[in-house]
Amino acid sequence: MYAIGKVFIDVIVGLFFVGMAGSAVVVAISFVDDFRELFGPDDADAEGGHAPPETNVAREFRSFSPKQGAADLELRPR
């Protein structure tokens, strides 16, 4: 009975260390990927890149001047 328990414990210990090594690989890959994303070249192009296309509401907001009153804003249902 002791021999079966010893083999079982050895297998469990081995699986533990395999899992720890796999987790370390995942952390290393994530670190490299994040490092590339933060410090790599910016891949946003002139046609918009990551930004969504500008909507009519965004254009109106951008053209709003603080000198205009709130009554001058035209709010339309979408």
The rounded average pLDDT for each run of 10 residues, N- to C-terminus, in the chain (78 residues) is: 93 97 97 90 58 68 61 56
Contact at 8 Å (CB) between 43 and 49? yes
The predicted pLDDT at position 43 comes to 59
Per-residue CA distances from 36 to 24, 30, 41, 70, 78 (Å)? 18, 10, 8, 45, 40
The predicted pLDDT at position 62 comes to 67
Residues for the chain: how many in total? 78
**Sequence spans of domains, the chain:** 1-39
Per-residue CA distances from 21 to 10, 14, 15, 25, 31 (Å)? 17, 11, 10, 6, 15
